[in-house]
Each structure stands twice: as structure tokens, then as C-alpha cells.
Amino acid sequence: MYGYKLETAHSTINDLKARLSYAETRLKQLQDKDIPPRGLVVENIVPVLQYNGHKIEMHSVEKYIRDAVAHLIGQPVESVDLELVVRVFDGRVLTFSSGKCQLRVRYILLSQNLELNILVTDIPEA
């Protein structure tokens, strides 16, 4: 009983730490832009993960995705190469202490938010 509550609290803390780190990075990148370009600018990265397993901690995958494309924050929407973003994630195998998973890009929506819809599948251990 106590182990479950402790594990849930630990997972919540890790999730909040990841969100805080991402928000601080995003704020710094938006503040570093001297002259904002006209038109739409990427302001936020929203990973939408579809995962039915229970082995992988999703906040770790979200943090990896946000860190990989964090440089796009503050960039004009017109200058974002979506094919390159797909190539970065599609077929990528991530290894964690709890197991391995593979990423498949389902679709990407680009406006002020860069929304990445990604299917996460477990890779069975040999």
C-alpha cells in the first residue's frame, strides 16, 4: 500500500520536474529572441503519446521528444522542416532502465504549437 503511494508520488514529482525544466527552457528561448519575426512562431511543443504498455515511464519519453526539438521554439513556422522532424523520431529506439521502446510518428500538426502524435510500442527483451 505504502509502496504504491510512494511510487505514485515519485512519478508525479518526476513529471513536474520535467514540465518545469521544459517551461524554463521555453521561456529562455523566447526571451533570447531580440526581434520577433512576423507571422506565426513556434511557441510550444506538445508530444501526444499513444502507449498501452506499462513498462516505460511516459514522462521520460516526453522529455526526450521535447529536448530533441526544443531548438524550434521561437522559430518562424515557415522555416520548420517537418520531414526532418519525422526522420528524427520515426523508428527511433529508446532504451530505459525499465525496457526498450520504439517510436512511430503518426502525424504532426504545426502552428504556434508543434504537436507530435507518436505511437510508442514496447520492444520485447531477448
Which pLDDT score is estimated for 120?
92
Q: Where are the domains of the chain?
A: 2-123
* Concatenated DSSP letters of 68-97: HHGGGTTSBGGG--HHHHHHHHTT-EEEET
Asked if the model's pLDDT at residue 78 lies above 60, the reply is yes
Q: How big is the CA angle at 14 (ends 52 and 71), to the nearest 5 degrees?
A: 85
**27-74 confidence digits (pLDDT tens):** 777 777 655 556 788 889 999 999 887 777 888 888 899 999 988 988
Angle between helices 58-69 and 2-32 (to 10 degrees): 10
pTM metric for this prediction: 0.70
